[in-house]
Structure 1
Amino acid sequence: MQGPWLTIIGVGEDGAAGLTPAATAALSAAQVVIGPPRHMALLPETDAQRIEWPVPFADGIPHLLAHRGTPTVALTSGDPFWFGAGSVLAERLGPSEWRAFPGPSVFSLAAARLGWRIEQTVCLGLHAAPLGRLRPHLAPGQRIVATLRDGAAVADIAAYLADTGWGDSRVTALQALGGPRERVTTDLSGSFDAPVAVAIEAAGGAAIPLASGRPDATFAHDGQITKRPVRALTLSALGPCPGEHLWDIGAGSGSIALEWLMAHPSCTATAVEGRSDRATRIRENAKVLGQDRLHVVEGRAPDALDGLPAPDAIFVGGGLSQTLLDRLIGLPARLVVNAVTLESEALVLAAHATHGGSLLRAQLSQPEPLGGFHGWKHAYPITQWCRP
């Protein structure tokens, strides 16, 4: 056959009425149609073989590829390339093997119903992600549209907002937009049918600051945490860029890795922590702060580094040794080490003398009562070595 064998069609709740002429022609010519039962039920019968896409989604890829070369239509919701299946399919095919006819996305339809500026609205796909992904985006006045897995998740998201201090937010449920079952309501007491999304106007809570060096109280910890001003200096030295991966060694509370992830949604990180209780706490911090993509490794470096994804940047906040330094110095990654003890400072100074880079010494002081007055209490100084 000539041209693409696969056509990806975004199906709206209005079914065939919402398809473009080109999409309708592709559907009529297809020998195989694969998709969820709900989508197939919205379209007229054809002579094509119909295959129900299995759950989980990844299990359907082999079924699709088994028909390579046969005119095939894959059905998805709305815009296949906005929190949809389009990119997953396109990544597995050559550029000449597929074409796509998107429908209106849930986000566009929601904005059209509510009169919101979509470019100023946070759009999230929570149909296959934890509700905690909301947390970094919650700020007074922020508008958010999020797709949900099912109707029951409407009540779940309302409960999540209440539990996290954002119970004053205005939540609108959006069911089956664009079709005969469409329902847009702020009354969340009833039941809802899929597909469903929510529109949130956030109110009542405290936002997580955007700048590096979030308040220490942002992270649960047992005292083993890189303090806010030093954390800001450390993130500045690490310099996260989109798509980069961090190793946070001796992670403690995970605050460095978590702030790295907050820098950009494409950043990734691995936190290495030797103590089981702290590793558990890091995972909980990641969940609470909506950074569930953090990978936590329980173990001690350098042995725990074996098999990890290659880093673009490395931070050592604890457990520094000459063996660890020797392992890290040979890697083509930015390296930032914070030394507190005399022994670790000696290692850092020797490494700087041999390998170059930059040194920074910082000491924090806080006022404390001194008789009837106040005086400065000094924390241990920190020597930071940064090798670009």
Structure 2
Amino acid sequence: MQVIVAGAGPGALAFYTEHTLAAIRSADLVLTAQRLAAPLSAIAGNVKVMGVMDTIAYLNEHAEKEEKVCVVASGDTGFYSIARTIADRVDPNISVSFACGIGSLSYFAAKLKIGYEQMKLVSLHGRESSIVPHVCYNESVFALTGGTIKAADVIQQLLKSGLTAVRVHVGEHLSSAQERIVSGTPTELENIQFDDLAVVVVENKDYVNRHKTLKDSDFIRGKSPMTKEAVRNLSLAALEIEPQDIVYDIGAGTGSVTCAMAYRASESMVYAVEKNPEAVDLVKENMAATGARNIEIRCALAPDSLAEFPPADKVFIGGSTGNLREIMEAVLQRNPEAVFVVTAVTLETITQAVGVFAALSMETETICANISAAQKLGNYHLMKAENPVYIIKGAKQLEH
């Protein structure tokens, strides 16, 4: 069997490439999705509607058959397409090739008269995800929506996070007679109904440089304790946060570590817990001040409310109120591979932390940071020492 997966572009026959049209016309059988069946039937009489998994099952069952099959997929075969899934799952004896198409990205960008060379590309189609992290740290974001996350959900995510000044473009039924493109702020688009399948571009002129190292002066100070800059940076280095990591901050305080971790988790979310309501308000102020809006903060005493968050990959514990073991057990129950960093300044906290890590059979790495900062005294600068801070990293099996 010979299989060619062909990109149909945004949908209208006018945007099918000659390569795709030739593949369709020469095929013994054309397999496609319901929404592409009608235009395809105008040029081929052998069209059959079939889902992705049914398509794969059919191809594998007929692998030895002398047949040329064209699987027509929407958009382009190289952009969140079923093409890769088919190529990975069919019988190795089946010859598979791709015919590229015009993707919704290039079509929509042309309609908006914008370039997409610097655009962040994401798919929210069929996924439990948020566009907020991407919008925070990129000047422009293109997103496919549908399934669980629709265009209306994207707008609500932006509103909830406070990203009300961004500009949103929504396109639906692209290339068809029913095509509609709507632009505006999230507030202006909030009450508009959109099709289940739509594409979205969000432009954020005030996006944040996620590579910036936050200084203590970047934060609004309150009565809550704040992890100082040097210790914050050492803790972040120990956590080794990846852009897609789910991160917890237990005992958020002013939110200095929370916001710094959000910069690192630039394609994901930070979930913070703080028991003091005034501190929670301060964290929200610092989220706005630093632009780190990919944070969800709860006023609670951990481990309460942790079950409401997705399982964590990385966890920073700056304050546990005596519940360190309970917190770590709650996290490990949902993800045994979670990595923890605990900071301690008192001998009692150090002893407790080391004991909990040992009781949970976790490997640890501990450093003691003795930091001095220059302080001006007349015409001279003297080094003023701060209290030593212990930074303890633990995981089931640390990578060396």
Check whether TM > 0.5. Answer: yes
1:141-290 matches, cutoff 5 A:
142-149=139-146, 153-186=150-183, 188=189, 190-193=192-195, 195-202=197-204, 207=208, 209-211=210-212, 229-239=230-240, 252=250, 259=261, 262=264, 276-277=303-304, 279-280=306-307, 282-283=309-310
Q: How far apart, CA to CA, are the structure 2 residues paired with 1:150 and 1:384?
A: 42
Q: Is the 8 A contact 1:151 1:191 kept in 2?
A: no
> Helix, strand or coil: the match of 2:165?
coil
> Helix, strand or coil: the match of 1:128?
coil
Question: Structure 1 unaligned runs (5+)?
Answer: 270-274, 287-297, 330-334, 338-347, 349-358, 368-375
Measure how far apart 1:212 and its partner are.
6.2
Q: Is the 8 A contact 1:145 1:200 kept in 2?
A: yes
Q: Deviations over 1:162-219 (max 9, x none)?
A: 222122222222223333333223264654445421222226x78484446699x99x
Q: Across the two proteins, how many residue pairs are aligned to each other? A: 321
Structure 1 residue 62 corresponds to structure 2 residue 57: yes
1:326 and 1:126, CA in 2 relative to 1: closer, same or farther beyond 3 A?
Answer: closer
Identify which of 3, 6, 12 aligns with 2:3.
6
Alignment partner, residue 122 of structure 2: 124
Q: Deviations over 1:225-250 (max 9, x none)?
A: 9776434213324556799x89x8x9
| RMSD of Structure 2 on Structure 1 (CA) | 5.1
Measure how far apart 1:113 and its partner are.
1.8
> Helix, strand or coil: the match of 1:186?
strand
1:48 and 1:225, CA in 2 relative to 1: closer, same or farther beyond 3 A?
Answer: farther
1:6 and 1:236, CA in 2 relative to 1: closer, same or farther beyond 3 A?
Answer: same
1:210 and 1:230, CA in 2 relative to 1: closer, same or farther beyond 3 A?
Answer: same
Identity %: 19
Question: Structure 2 unaligned runs (5+)?
Answer: 271-301, 314-324, 344-352, 376-383
Measure how far apart 1:100 and its partner are.
1.0
1:321 and 1:60, CA in 2 relative to 1: closer, same or farther beyond 3 A?
Answer: farther
1:353-364 matches, cutoff 5 A:
359-362=367-370
Identify which of 50, 63, 67 aligns with 2:48.
50
> Helix, strand or coil: the match of 1:116?
coil
What one-letter code is carried by the residue in structure 1 that aligns with 2:106?
A: S
Measure how far apart 1:43 and its partner are.
0.9
> Helix, strand or coil: the match of 1:108?
helix
Q: Is the 8 A contact 2:120 2:134 kept in 1?
A: no
Q: How far apart, CA to CA, are the structure 1 residues paired with 2:15 and 2:391?
A: 63
Q: Is the 8 A contact 2:121 2:141 kept in 1?
A: yes
TM-score (norm 1): 0.61
Q: Is the 8 A contact 1:131 1:157 kept in 2?
A: no
1:36 and 1:224, CA in 2 relative to 1: closer, same or farther beyond 3 A?
Answer: farther
Measure how far apart 1:149 and its partner are.
1.1
Q: How far apart, CA to CA, are the structure 1 residues paired with 2:389 and 2:162?
A: 37
Q: Is the 8 A contact 2:132 2:157 kept in 1?
A: no
Measure how far apart 1:154 and its partner are.
3.3
TM-score (norm 2): 0.60
Alignment partner, residue 74 of structure 1: 71
